[in-house]
A and B are shown apart, each in its own frame.
Chain A
Amino acid sequence: MTGDEDREQVFVVLYERHYGQVLAYARRRVEEAAARDVAAETFLVAWRRLDEAVARGLPWLYRTAQLTLANRARTERRAARTVGRLAALPAEPHVADPAVTHVDRPQVFDALRTLPAADRELLLLVVWEQLDVRTAAGVVGCSAGAAEVRLHRARRRLRGVLHQPPARRAHPDLPPSPEMTT
């Protein structure tokens, strides 16, 4: 077997193992067609930097997908569409949860958008991709300690929004709650 064949086999294993996760990551953040392209671009980078991709695994792939998304948003002026994806999430949640019935879902995504990008990404990596804090910190590029602080801040901000009375939340002229400004 040649070195090239070895390399291909290693890549195919990496691809088969993680394609679904990378695609899901992208689909949670952009529309389906763009998500497919992001997944392909992510693995193209992995193919070209195979040693690095294999050594660092899924977190590296997430990080690469994140950069790919950022590049697309920047270079193709798709930032609005990318952010819009959060607002265009399914009207009905996939998982029945009593907590969900007591809040306005658009309000949750509005609240998410108020978070600093790195904080939001950390929170979603932990909740949606189910990464542990240390791994999520590696994806975002901060220390585990900093990630803990950011996560705490992000959750507190979201809770501040979710616990506001609906009437006040719905009023566009009202200032954000004190918690929102911390």
Chain B
Amino acid sequence: MTTTHSVDSLLSALNPIPVDAATTDLDERARTDLAAILASATAADPVVGPRRHGGTSGRRLTLCAAAAVAVALVAAVVVPNVGQHSGVAYAATPRPLVYLPVATAKDAPTLLKAIAGRVAALPDDIGTGRYAHVETLGWYLWTTVDGERVTSAVVPQHRHQWVAGDGSGRTVVTATPPGRRTVREDRTVAADASSLMWPLRSLSSDDATLARQLGAGHPASNGPAERYEAVKDAYLQMPIPPAVRAAMLRYLAATPGIIVTGNVTDRAGRDGVGFSLDSDYTGLPTRYTLIIDPDNGALLGSENMLTTTAGKLNVPVPSVIGYTVFLSATYTDMAN
């Protein structure tokens, strides 16, 4: 037996996935991945290779951490798929919100600045304490659960996050799939186990300083929607005091292409005003909407909705593909 033959035949026999056993048909995961890819950005944005923006690493880490929570939640959140069409899984989506015209026909920058003017001098309403507590309700079309994507039911995740200045804290995520018990994940992390995008209470009410702070991890070169992401990330991390909320509204007012979508009752039953941005930089034409409380300037929620085409997703158009409802945010001494 030659060296080549003996070594190769031995390794071949130990091949964990023999060539003839490699799957040739696309299974459910493969099809949902295909749909997700087709819905993603088409621009040359190297996933493999050097990052374009060094400043995004903190944000990516945070997003990864959030994704890890979503994955960890799983186990029991797998919902059976109800059907397929043309080889692509159906995806259940939440009802779109209804926006009504705003009585005062102001453009978005003007309206945002007007709200900011009312909010800036409000008394502090974010409490005191060791932990930044943020409570959200979220649903995302691409939520991954136990290696599978939940595509047949809208299963929002209720999330409580307590984070101290040293990165320690606790995250509790619950979800209740239809007909199943509530799934709960409770995770406590030690100091320095998670990276904060910004130190707690560090965001400035000065416009130029805030723009620099928010832009550090959310570079303007990524497009106007990056401003939306920056504001959402800030609200996801910590309570925002009124003066900083006002500065954030002025920051949003400078977003190219921002429009007033209208008055809306959000998914928690609260009144707000929607400010939207249409962009296709993630692949499909998508409307990004932030819902702002006109009385206190707080971010109530964010909605992402496909507008003109769903690509291969087999979801109706328009279709909500993700939302976050910001339920509460205060500082507290107890992580519970």
Contact = CB atoms under 8 A, between A and B. Distances in A.
A36 B17 contact: no
B43 A159 contact: no
A162 B33 contact: no
Contacts of A8: 38, 311-312
Contact of A45 (B9, B19, B48, B312): B48
Interface in B12-60: 12-19, 21-26, 29-30, 33-34, 36-38, 40-49
B48 A28 contact: no
B257 interface: no
Contacts of B38: 8, 11-12, 47
Interface string A61-101: 00010011001000000000000000001100111110110
Given A47-B42, A49-B44, A155 B8 contact: yes
- Range, interface on chain A: 35 or more
A124 B19 CA distance: 12
Contacts of A168: none
Contacts of A43: 33-34, 37
**How would you classify the secondary structure of chain B's contact residues: helix, strand, loop or mixed?**
loop
Interface stretch (A16-24, A139-147, A170-178): A16-24
B7 interface: yes
Interface string B281-298: 000000000000000000
A70 to B, nearest CB: 8
Contacts of A71: 48
Nearest to A7: B42
Interface of A: 7-8, 11-12, 15-16, 19-21, 23-24, 27-28, 32-33, 36, 39-41, 43-45, 47-49, 64, 67-68, 71, 89-90, 93-97, 99-100, 103, 105, 108-109, 123-124, 126-130, 155-156, 158-159, 162
The 9 closest A-B pairs by CB, nearest first: A24-B22, A97-B13, A40-B33, A67-B48, A20-B23, A93-B13, A24-B17, A127-B11, A155-B7
